[in-house]
Each structure stands twice: as C-alpha cells, then as structure tokens.
Structure 1
Amino acid sequence: MTPAMPKPEHPRPQLVRDKWLNLNGTWGFEIDAGDSGLERGLTTRELNSEILVPFAPESALSGIEHVDFMEAVWYRRTVTIPQEWAGQNVLLHFGAVDHDATVWVNGVEVARHRGGFTPFTADLEGVVEPGTDAVIVVRARDSRHEMQARGKQATWYNNTHCQYTRTTGIWQTVWMEAVPAVHIKRLRMTPNLADSSITLEVPVSQNRSGHTVTAVLSDGSGMRIEESAKADLDLTPSLRLSIPEGSLRPWSIEDPFLYDLEVCVRNGSGEVVDHVSSYAAVRSIALDGKVVRINGKAVFQRLVLDQGYWPESLMTSPDEAALVRDIELSMAAGFNGARLHQKVFEERFLYHADRLGYLVWGEFGDWGVSGGGTIGHNQKPTASFVAQWLEVLKRDFNHPSIIGWCPLNETHQILHDRLTVLDDVTEAMFLATKLADPTRPVIDASGYAHRIRETDIYDSHSYEQDPDRFRIEQQGLAEGKPYINRKADGEEYSVPYAGQPFFVSEFGGIWWNEVEARQAVKGSDVSTSWGYGQRVSSEEEFYTRFDGLCSVLLDNPDMFGYCYTQLTDVFQEKNGIFNFDRSNKFHLERIRASQTRPAAIEGGN
C-alpha cells in the first residue's frame, strides 16, 4: 500500500538543509487533451481529479493509469509556507517534469523549463511569504508530434519491442526549502588523488561584504579538516581540502568510502547565515592505451544495462528500497556497475551507488528521436538537447560512482560528405561535456555513429547470439580493427577507430520466457514477448550462451569492459537477468560465476 507521503526522503543528498518541505502526495489533476487549458482558465480553478505525486499519470501508483497520449496535463496544490521560515527566501524545486513545464504560484508565472529528465527551481521571493498559502499550478506539455528527448518512451500507442509506456508530467519529487538571501547554490567537488585533496567550489547567490565560506571535511574517526575563503570577491569561491597522510581512503568498488562534508556561509559578524550537509570522495580515472584505470588499477567494467522502469510506477521508483534493491540485485549477479540507460536517474539512486561502490555511466535519454523520427539522414535533435545535457552534468558532477558520460545513444547517421544538425549536436554535446567535466572519459555516442575523432572511448553494440561467431566478430580489436556498427548494406556510420579504450557497450539480450518456451515445446508457440535474435529453448541453454558470450569479452586482452542487456525484463521485453517485478529468473550463482573470474585486462588468463 502506497503511503500518504510517497518518497519522503530528501531528494538531493549532496546538498541538504534543515528547512525543507516535501510536497509529494495528493495534488489536483486534469488531463488537457487539446492543450487548451490556459484559454479555459485552468490556472484559476480547481481541477477535475486527483493524482498521487510524484507518480506519472500513466502509472498505476498515480491513481490515474491513463496510458493514451496526453498533449498536456495540469496539477494544482495549496501549500502553507511554514511560519518559521520568516526572513528566508522560498525555493520551489521540481526533480523532473516531462516534458515542457510552466509553473504559476498565486497566479504569478514563476518558472518555465524544457526537458523531461532534469531538475529546475522557482525562486518565490516577492510571490509568497512565510505563514501564507501558496497555490501552485503546473502545466506539463508532452506532445507526440514534436522532436524531443524521450528515452525509451513509445512514440506510438502500444508498448512494442524495446519501447515502453510513456511518462507525462511530474515524475520526481517536488519540494520546497528556505534559504537566506546569500546562500550556497550547488557544491562542485573535484577529487585530486595524486595530491590527496579535494578542490571544492562553492557558488553563492550574492557577494556581500565580509561574507566567507567555510568547509569542514571529516572521516568519522577523528580526522577533521577546516578551510575558509572569502565569499565577497567571486561568485564561486574555491577551497582546497588537503587530506593528511594516513587519512586518505580512495573511493573504490571494494571500499566505497565517503567523507562527511559540512559547508556554511558566515556574514561579516561571523554568524552562520547558510549551512548545508554533503559528502565527498577521492578517486581517479585514467586512460592508459586501451585500459581504463580507477585509482591507477585496471578494473574490468562488468556493466549491466539498467532501464530504470518498474511495472507499477514506470520511470519513477516506487520507493527508496527499490533503488537500493536494483543495485544489490545487479551486484549479486556479478556485475560491478551499470549503464543507466536512456533516462536520467533520480539523484538518490546515485547516492546509493556512491555508498555501495557501484560504477555507473551517466547517459541522456535521446533515443526517442531515433525511434520517433526518420532514422538516417534526417534525424534532427535540437539545441535543447545540449541545454538539458548541461543540466545533467551540473546536477551529477560530484558523484564518485559516475565513471563516464554518454551524451547520445545509437545515433543512426550515414557518414557522407555533408554535415547535418545531428553532427552539430553531437559535437556540441561532446565539447560541452569535456568543458563541464574534464575529469571523466566521454563517449560521443554509444554504438552506431561515432562522429568525433577525439572521443575518449570507442564502442559498438552487438546482439550476435552465437558465442563462436561473436568471438570471430570481436577478434579484430587486437589488430586495431574492432567490430563497428554499419548499415546492413555496409554503409559507414563512424569515423575510423583510433586506438581508444574499447568495449561492447550492448550485447547479450538473451531472450528467455519460461511460459512461452513451454508452449513452444507443446507446439503452440504464440509469442507475445520480444528479445534479441533466436531465443533459447531452455534455461540450461541460457547459461551456456551467457557464459560463452561473456567469456569472449572477458578473455579479450584489449577489451576494458562490457555492458550486458539487461538487468530486468521490461514489459514485453523478456531478456532480463530478473523478472520485471525483480523476482528471480535464474540461479544467480551461475550468472555470477560466469562473470567474476579475472578478465584478461586485469591480468587474468
């Protein structure tokens, strides 16, 4: 049973203040099929139904479960601003609203935002006062007729193949917090393993004479480092926190150690005017030939493709435990990380990945353009992709679990002598990533069209199901001629491989549905599921194929990792290690045994 306050946890674990208010729960709701609600006065009247936020109206947990297309939806809620927030500014935060959002408070438009995966904030200064009511109205537009970043959301009515039920409107936590006029906006932490330090940037909202920022780093065992800097000269004061010899514990999958971090702003009289709690970690990522090193050590990345869907709540996790469980299930199966595939996961997922030592690649949800537009020369993502991706990088820069960025996925674009909008967007997203984060490797686009010669990582996708043919397909990497995705007629998508670290970032996808397999044996194979290639006929055949495919990549001394498709079944797609409800589908010890022996790049046989 869903609680009255779903997902009550603080949604931003790396920047926590004491004065905050979770706004999840029951809101007024109305479907606006013709997107005429503004003309019909929906900003000023009660709505005709109710919804449980933050669950999307397509989901069962929302109480709506309307799965047809919705051009626009509206939300309404009245909130009393706590009296104890007197003298503070009120910030209204949205974790994610799909896709174009407009927000009014007490009849005043306070925010507009484009993009279904990234957070945005409305400053309510001058609009509401502590002790008074705030009437919050949200309109979310999610047109099926426009090019937009959809991830795996179906662009036609039914779920089909690897496209799933859509998400419209609010799907992550809505919340408020009280901040002073001079406050910390968002911390930025850059680890420096080589000199045992963390560079901490503390952007502030204003520069007031005499103000300072102070940071305290501690390890729970007596180590305490305190540094201060002026906050009245620069919008982003910077501090260097040097960790004493003997107190350094690099973050790793074996020891995912997190330091406690407290940061405050003081005025000219020394009084604390703003205070936030956070955490930090120290680890390094380096590229050495074809090896990706973490803290100087070759670590074979045994990744799984995680789509981040749940049957009852779609892209929103049903609760906190569900986030933790997916990581623990993956690790129990022998994976040490994931490609967070075609959506931007909730920040609390990354927090749990940080504390559990789980490697992840951050990714943007661009694949809907491929699925909904013309695949090939005319695919045209927009400049909005770049803006939204920069919001992702800003939000997630500090997480030590993120060990690479993947701005685009499977951009089908033939390599020819004319530049296109897709070429421009690919280059813009790659360059923006390198500028925003010079500390992590970037892959220009996963699979298919590699268009940036200086991409840090090169990859391909292969769903070849026969291990022997898969080995032959992949053996050219030793001679600098890896398997590269091409059109069926041989036309090229990509610039030539230049010796970068290489991995097969999608493989496997072994199709197994026990019920349908039994029906097939009886001669009544009416398949309603989907998977890659020829499905296995028995569970034992699955283990043999899984072991064979993994062995090809583990045994390749030039392969730094892989990503198996996928963690769970998702709706009709039956190629998960677990069922869609996360129940066991296989004997995990056999799945784990196929993966956990040392890989060749780690010094294995």
Structure 2
Amino acid sequence: MKRKLSRFFVSLALGVMSLTASASVPREEYPRPQFERTDWVNLNGDWTYEFDFGKSGMDRRLYKSEGFKDKITVPFCPESRLSGVAYVDFIPAMWYHRKIQIPSEWQGRDVMLNFGGVDYFSAVYIDGQLVGRHWGGSDSFGHDITKFVSDGKVHDLVVRVEDDVRSGDQAKGKQSGNFYSQGCDYTRTTGIWQTVWMEPVDHAGLSSAYIVPDLDHKRFVIEPSFRNLENGQKVEAVVRDGGKVVSRATEKASRQVKLELPIKNVKTWSPESPFLYDVELTVYDADGKAIDKVSSYSGMRKIHWEGDRLYLNNEPYFLRLVLDQGFYPEGIWTAPDDASLKCDIEMSMAAGFNGARLHQKVFEERFHYWADKLGYLTWGETASWGANTNKIEAARNFIPEWESIVIRDRNHPSIVAWTPFNETWERPGDSEQAKQHDRFVKDVYTLTSHLDYRPINDTSGNFHVITDLWTVHNYEQNPDKLAEYFVIKDGRYPQLDPNKEISYGGQPFFIDEYGGIKWVDGAQFADNSWGYGDSPRTKEEFYDRLERLTDVILAVPYMSGYCYTQLTDVEQEQNGIYNYDRTKKFDMDRIKKIFSKVPKGFK
C-alpha cells in the first residue's frame, strides 16, 4: 500500500527576501499578530537543503556551508508537496541554508532571528558560528544574532535539525512512528514548518506582554517584560476602541511593573459578539524617545468554573466543540496560506460548532488570530503523544516546551482551556513507573496554573491526576448504549479506569471525544481508511445516528459540553464532517441544525 497524495495542489511561486510582504513569498503575513512590529524581513521562500541520514553533517562541517544542491520551499516541511520535496520516509537529520542580509536601516538595534516552529531539535549557524540551539517541535523561539552579523553584509545562515519520533523522549502528536500512515497517525513533519523571520529590536525593548482581561473590575491588566532595563525607562499602554483611545497608562519600567487600564463602557468578547480592543505598547528611554512599539489586541471576556459548570462572561456556557487536528493535504502541519486557517474556522461554524478542541498539535498564532476575530472558542493542546509520561527525559523535554507554548498563546481570548496531555495510555498501573506518570502530569498542571488563569484539562480522556475539567472519550455508536454509559452508578460518574485515575470531583463534565462516524465521500483515501464503528449504509442513516448520539449527550444533566470527532478527514481517518480537501460531504443545513442545539439553562 502506498500513501496517496492530496487531491489538489496549490502552486506557489518562490520568492526572494524583501522588506515588504510580497505575493511571491509563501505565508507572507506577519506570524505574531498579538506582538507585531512594523519592521521585519520574511525569510520564507527558496532555501537549499541536504538530508543527513547518517547524522554525519557535523563531521563534514556542513555548518560552514555556502549552499546545498537541492531546493526546498520554507516554511513547508520536506514531507509536504508544498515544500517541493515530498519525501515521506524518516528523516533523522537535515540541513538548511540561505543567504541573509541585514538592512542598513536597522543599524543601532539588535537583530532577532525568529522561528515559528522547527521539529524537533535545531541548531543555528551564521557563517559557520553557532548562534544557538533549541529543543521542542511545537513552540516558537528566537535567537539574538546581533554579534554575528554586520549591516549590509551577506551572511550564510545554516540550520541543522534532528527528529526522532520513535524515541519516546519527544512529543510528536499524530506523526506516524511507522513508515505508513495508520490508525490515528499520519504523515510526519520534520524541520522548519512555520515562518522564519528577522526583526530589529532595541536593546531595552519589549520581550513579551501578558494581557489579562478583568471583566468584573472592568479593566485590562498588562504585565510587560523587557529584554533589558535602563535608567529612566518608561512603558506606556494605550487601549483603543476603533480609533478612539478609551484607556491609557504609563509606568516606570521594571520587572514588577503592571499597567492597569480601566474601561468605562465595556464591550465584551464572545462567540455572539467577538469585539476586540486594539492595544499598543510603547517603551520610552530617559529622554522620552520611543525606542520600541508593539501592536496587539485583546478581548474583554471572563472564563471560569464554579461547581460543575463552565462560565463565559459570568453565564453558564455549553461548549459545542469539534476535534480539529490541523492537517492539510498539501502542507501537512502547515496551512498553505492564511486564508485556509480562516476557512477552517468558518467551515466549523457553518456546521453549528461554537469552537474546537485543537488536537495533538500546537496551532500557529495566525489560527488563534482568526479565532479571536470570528468568535471561536478553543482548547489549547500540544502534540503530547510520543513523549512517554513514564520517562524522566520526556518530562525534561516536555515541560519547558509546554511553558513556552502557554506563554506565547495565553493572550488569545478565544482560548478558554488548556489540555497538555491526551490519553496517557502508557500509565502502567500501581507501580514505580505509574508514580512517574502521575508526577509528570501533576507538575505540568501546577506549572500551567501558575502561568495562566484558564481551567486545565490535565489529560483528555485518561488518566486524570489533578484536573479542573473532567473529560471522557466514548465512541459508542449505539445511542441507547451511550445513554447507559452516562448513568451514575453507586455514586460513580463515568471514567475509563478507577484503578488508574482519581475519581470525579464535581468539576464541569465533558465528553471531549465522541462520534467519529465513518463516511467516505467518493473513493477511499487509502486502503486502510477507517472510522469508528460500522459505517452507515445511507446518508439518512448517518444523519439519524449523528442526531441521536448528540441528543443523548445533550440530555445528560451534568454535561457541560461535547467535542465531536472530527472536522475533516485526515488521510486514512475518514470520519470528518468534511473531506480532507475541505469539500463538503453532507447537507450542511442538516448538520448545523444538529450541532446548534443547546441544553436548557445554558447559553
């Protein structure tokens, strides 16, 4: 059986580096919409590369390369068609190269080289000198390359990457550990898979800003962080409603500074009305000169839980989520263009969902931007599969990556919960290894709670150790049997294995995976295509099963929401509401009618 390629191919012209966005540069949009600077250089486009199957590149001093013989289109991974390579076997290591030149206008400022995502380990070299290393396939990172470059000079940028999805030491998500895509695992992603860019930043400029909406007190609280601090430095925050300034605050810059910005006539953010305030942060030196300016935005919304209910803006809110795995036929983990990210959200909303569980992948910031703009609720997850929760090395790799992910994405109002793990099947029972699993999960929960205020679903489905949300998975295809599953017996609520996890403690209860009904629209994607249970014989049978399963969940009195599997087919897993190429399978009016139902007492 051979892997089948996508049903359609989006062609992109390769571009050269330019200071302004150009249609010739793939993924031309600024990749960090909540921390945006006006000066930047997009490094996407035509790079050269060499595979390093024997990991001998260091011995051969490939870090001193002035160019390799083969071409690849960044930011698309070499397994994808959009990269121009489409090599789908395992790639333990590879090398990238391109020329870079620092604009003369950047003189006097530091230069940051930023990567939206590189899977998994990377080392960056300029003119043969090591700039820095990074571990983690899903988080964004940057290197200060100021001391390695000169204004106007052309430099050789080389990136070495290594990836081992079968080690058990690193998170891989749904990347297949077998040559073939099979079961719930699909084509791998190796190396650079998100935008690469450079930007100038003042030595004492901003490094980040945590924007917390405080609806109950009608204010935003902003905690800025600085690259360095200098005497007399100040920071200003301005909040705008359209072009009108509605709040302003200025404080002396320090590591402890917090900016409080009261809003008189609050406009809340919600799926029904996704209003966003513009936020601008400016750093001034002792002479009052602006040395750094960052554009951002935020939504005034509150997410919290009380007892067994989740609240949005202080009202009980029922989550009607869909599982979204973020795979694309042409780009695999990387959307072919910005419009595709927006389109996926619009397709989901057209099907009646008010949000998504972003499953086993860290979605790029541009996706969250569109979710914020469109009013789409999400659960932020990571690609936890592959990181064996019994292994200390896996924990060592996972924790700093997860910390970086939460810090990067915590300003997005659309994200309403964190899910660091999914189905930790490797928990072996009552043993020393089980203790390592439980410690790992608890450590990540504790870290997340210190970083952010949102509720935490420690491990989706199983096995819960400490959690704010209670989640179960059930793919029962018989509605009557599914109803039996939710019956409380001897005071015990549904769970996978009471011997391997804590008991339900009265948290908001969700079935965050159900359905998965197989329906193939036309030819099967592959010989091993599948879905849960027996495929319905007709579309009418599909509609009937889908509605009855969903109605069972809506009738459960302690239920706070669901997540249907899934938005689109993904390669051989053909149980999506849409085909893998995003074309329709069903009458979407009928689908929307099913998924738009809300139980009594909820919004």
TM over 0.5: yes
Q: What secondary structure sits across from 2:564 in the alignment?
A: strand
Q: 1:458, CA displacement in angstroms?
A: 0.8
Q: What secondary structure sits across from 1:186 in the alignment?
A: strand
Give yes or no for the alignment of 1:84 onto 2:99: no
Give yes or no for the alignment of 1:405 onto 2:418: yes
Give yes or no for the alignment of 1:18 onto 2:38: yes
Contact 2:165 2:386 (8 Å CA) reproduced: no
Q: What secondary structure sits across from 1:464 in the alignment?
A: coil
Where does residue 581 of structure 2 map in the other structure?
Answer: 581
1:449 to 455, 463, 487: 463
Give yes or no for the alignment of 1:252 onto 2:259: no
Give yes or no for the alignment of 1:473 onto 2:495: no
Distance in 1, Cα, partners of 2:113 & 2:441:
33
Deviation string for 1:59-102 (max 9, x for gaps)? Answer: 00000000000110110010111111111110000000000000
Where does residue 321 of structure 1 map in the other structure?
Answer: 339
Distance change >3 Å, CA 29–CA 221, structure 1 → 2: closer
Give yes or no for the alignment of 1:63 onto 2:76: no
Where does residue 18 of structure 2 map in the other structure?
Answer: none
Contact 2:441 2:458 (8 Å CA) reproduced: yes
Distance in 2, Cα, partners of 1:536 & 1:482:
30
Distance in 2, Cα, partners of 1:380 & 1:269:
49
2:180 to 158, 163, 175: 158
Letter in 2 for 1:64: V
Distance in 2, Cα, partners of 1:274 & 1:382:
37
Distance in 2, Cα, partners of 1:102 & 1:163:
27
Q: 1:539, CA displacement in angstroms?
A: 1.2
Letter in 1 for 2:465: R
Q: 1:380, CA displacement in angstroms?
A: 7.6
2:512 to 502, 505, 509: 505
Deviation string for 1:381-405 (max 9, x for gaps)? Answer: 3321111100101100100000000
Q: 1:145, CA displacement in angstroms?
A: 4.3
Distance in 1, Cα, partners of 2:445 & 2:597:
34
Contact 2:126 2:155 (8 Å CA) reproduced: yes
Letter in 2 for 1:314: I
Q: Show the 5 A alignment for 1:312-351.
A: 312-351=330-369
Letter in 2 for 1:493: K
Contact 1:189 1:200 (8 Å CA) reproduced: yes
Deviation string for 1:468-487 (max 9, x for gaps)? Answer: 1111111328x75322113x
Letter in 1 for 2:454: R
Contact 1:369 1:379 (8 Å CA) reproduced: no
2:444 to 408, 419, 429: 429
Deviation string for 1:10-29 (max 9, x for gaps)? Answer: 00001111110100000011
Contact 1:110 1:124 (8 Å CA) reproduced: yes
Contact 1:301 1:337 (8 Å CA) reproduced: yes
Distance in 2, Cα, partners of 1:379 & 1:465:
38
Is there any run of 5+ residues in structure 1 with no aligned partner, and where?
518-525
Distance in 2, Cα, partners of 1:465 & 1:15:
45
Where does residue 47 of structure 2 map in the other structure?
Answer: 27
1:269 to 287, 296, 302: 287
Letter in 2 for 1:119: S
Where does residue 210 of structure 1 map in the other structure?
Answer: 232
1:388 to 374, 378, 401: 401
Letter in 2 for 1:409: N
Give yes or no for the alignment of 1:220 onto 2:242: yes
Q: What secondary structure sits across from 1:548 in the alignment?
A: helix
Distance in 2, Cα, partners of 1:106 & 1:543:
60
Letter in 2 for 1:361: W
Deviation string for 1:520-550 (max 9, x for gaps)? Answer: xxxxxx9631111222111111101110111
Distance in 1, Cα, partners of 2:113 & 2:243:
37
Contact 2:322 2:565 (8 Å CA) reproduced: yes
Q: 1:379, CA displacement in angstroms?
A: 10
Q: 1:599, CA displacement in angstroms?
A: 1.5
Distance change >3 Å, CA 422–CA 48, structure 1 → 2: farther
Deviation string for 1:194-226 (max 9, x for gaps)? Answer: 010010011111111111001110101634311
Distance change >3 Å, CA 493–CA 63, structure 1 → 2: same
Where does residue 520 of structure 1 map in the other structure?
Answer: none
Q: 1:163, CA displacement in angstroms?
A: 0.3
Distance change >3 Å, CA 265–CA 515, structure 1 → 2: closer
Q: What secondary structure sits across from 2:394 in the alignment?
A: coil
Distance in 2, Cα, partners of 1:593 & 1:22:
43
Q: Show the 5 A alignment for 1:290-369.
A: 290-369=308-387
Q: 1:129, CA displacement in angstroms?
A: 2.1
Contact 2:521 2:579 (8 Å CA) reproduced: no
Q: 1:557, CA displacement in angstroms?
A: 2.2
Give yes or no for the alignment of 1:111 onto 2:111: no
Distance change >3 Å, CA 516–CA 60, structure 1 → 2: closer
Q: 1:420, CA displacement in angstroms?
A: 3.0
Distance in 1, Cα, partners of 2:161 & 2:83:
16
Q: What secondary structure sits across from 1:161 in the alignment?
A: coil
Q: 1:236, CA displacement in angstroms?
A: 4.8
Letter in 2 for 1:440: R
Which stretch of structure 1 is more off in the superposition, 318-327 or 284-293?
284-293
Distance in 1, Cα, partners of 2:244 & 2:47:
46
Contact 1:159 1:572 (8 Å CA) reproduced: yes
Distance in 2, Cα, partners of 1:61 & 1:32:
21
Letter in 2 for 1:195: H
Deviation string for 1:427-448 (max 9, x for gaps)? Answer: 11111100111x2100111112
Q: 1:349, CA displacement in angstroms?
A: 0.2
Q: Show the 5 A alignment for 1:476-491.
A: 476=488, 480-486=491-497
Distance in 2, Cα, partners of 1:284 & 1:480:
32
Q: Alignment length, in residue pairs? A: 578
Where does residue 523 of structure 1 map in the other structure?
Answer: none
Q: What secondary structure sits across from 1:203 in the alignment?
A: strand
Q: 1:250, CA displacement in angstroms?
A: 1.0
TM-score by length of 1: 0.93
Q: 1:149, CA displacement in angstroms?
A: 0.2
Distance in 2, Cα, partners of 1:502 & 1:304:
16
Contact 1:186 1:202 (8 Å CA) reproduced: yes
Deviation string for 1:259-284 (max 9, x for gaps)? Answer: 01111111111111111111112111
Deviation string for 1:160-209 (max 9, x for gaps)? Answer: 01100000000000000001111000111111100100100111111111
Contact 1:343 1:365 (8 Å CA) reproduced: yes
1:464 to 476, 492, 512: 476
Contact 1:182 1:204 (8 Å CA) reproduced: yes
Q: 1:368, CA displacement in angstroms?
A: 2.7
Distance in 2, Cα, partners of 1:579 & 1:417:
43
Distance in 2, Cα, partners of 1:173 & 1:401:
22
Q: 1:337, CA displacement in angstroms?
A: 0.3
Q: 1:227, CA displacement in angstroms?
A: 0.6
Distance change >3 Å, CA 469–CA 178, structure 1 → 2: same
**Aligned residues: CA RMSD:** 1.7
Give yes or no for the alignment of 1:174 onto 2:196: yes
Is there any run of 5+ residues in structure 2 with no aligned partner, and where?
1-10, 15-24
Q: What secondary structure sits across from 2:208 in the alignment?
A: coil
Distance in 1, Cα, partners of 2:552 & 2:530:
25
Q: What secondary structure sits across from 1:423 in the alignment?
A: helix
Contact 2:372 2:412 (8 Å CA) reproduced: yes
Distance change >3 Å, CA 416–CA 583, structure 1 → 2: same
2:68 to 44, 47, 69: 47
Distance change >3 Å, CA 516–CA 126, structure 1 → 2: closer
Q: 1:552, CA displacement in angstroms?
A: 1.1
Distance change >3 Å, CA 291–CA 90, structure 1 → 2: same
Where does residue 218 of structure 2 map in the other structure?
Answer: 196
TM-score by length of 2: 0.93
Q: What secondary structure sits across from 1:541 in the alignment?
A: helix
Letter in 2 for 1:111: G
Contact 2:387 2:398 (8 Å CA) reproduced: no
Q: What secondary structure sits across from 1:167 in the alignment?
A: coil
Q: What secondary structure sits across from 2:142 in the alignment?
A: strand
